[in-house]
Amino acid sequence: MSRHVMFYVQHLLGIGHLKRAAILAEAMSGAGLSVSVVLGGTPVEEIGFAGCGRIALPPARAADAGFSALVDEHARPVDDAWRDRRRARLLAEFAALQPDVLLIEMFPFGRRQFSFELLPLLQAARAATPRPWIVCSVRDILVRKSARRADEMVRLAAAWFDRILVHADPAIVRLDQSLPEVAAVAERLVYTGYVADGQAPTLRPHDDVTGRDEVIVTVGGGAVGEPLLRAALAARPRSRLGSHVWRLICGPNLPADIAADLRWHQAPGVVVERWRDDVPVLLRNGVLSVSQAGYNTLVSVLQAKARAVVAPFASLNETEQADRARAFAERGLLTVVELDALAGDAAA
């Protein structure tokens, strides 16, 4: 009988967490594990979990790019009754599955807003007989936090988790660079390397020329991608690559009215698309990648050995992309331009 993994995944704004989780879940399934993925975010049709069971909780997302609050699928602020329903559903699913491994994405190093259900889930797992392994799945770089918050995260990790899977190469980035306090649980850290989709994209006729000599502009899920897309369009006529085709891939979460406006006003030599499932092919064949600095995006760029310019998304509460871009740039892997500087000649 195969071992059963219950994998809790909650994305709030972008789709990077969801994409990385899908790669991990499908790899576990392919290795013979039985995987049930608990999904707490809004559905993203373009990302599947082939071979895995899926459990959809009442969906939540961030109200805005500042992660100021949680809202439900109708954009209404979540309340205690909503939290009670979600917690009860999550605990019932755990009791029914009786997994051998409980794998939780990000928490306690993120997703603090979901403590209302995750702490009871951890308590249920600890009390279960037999007790499952309790494992955290975390990316390479964390958003910088206050000392008090950092201590709290490490305390929770020490109290509840058997292992912490860090999806990074320690020769490039170590978790303690963004969270020095994690040294207190160093014996539980396991560096997995960067998580990359090892499956070749679905090949189409003439894939050897798809995207050839194009500038490929991507913004991940697109929720905060408009400034980069606009900057790329403004830079193209002034760039030495202005005679090349520029292909803008907007992402499923770019607001529909913005995507429609970009398509309506696209100039000759500019292609605007909502989504492509062959981005690795485009990056491999293109002359330049222009993107933000999300985890999955940069892994794809490195896999394709593409020349790259990145403009990391950054805000008061989001430092992760800027830190990752800096670490990769220090090793000569890409060029960084601050998003605030993407105007006119500077961007070109």
- Nearest 10 degrees: Cα torsion 55, 57, 62, 67: -90
pLDDT of residue 347: 77
pLDDT for 210 = 80
pLDDT at 105: 98
pLDDT value, residue 318:
75
Distance CA 136, CA 115 (A): 14
CA distance 119 to 98: 17
> pLDDT: is 220 or 14 the higher one?
220
pLDDT at 175: 97
Could you report the per-residue pLDDT of 159-185, keeping only the tens digit for each? Answer: 999 999 999 999 999 999 999 999 999
Q: Work out the pLDDT band at 319, boundaries 50, 70, 90.
A: confident
Mean pLDDT of 234-252: 94
Are 156 and 134 contacting, i.e. CB atoms less than 8 angstroms apart? no
Of 118, 63, 110, 112, the residue nearest 86 (C-alpha):
118
Structure confidence at residue 204 (pLDDT)? 59
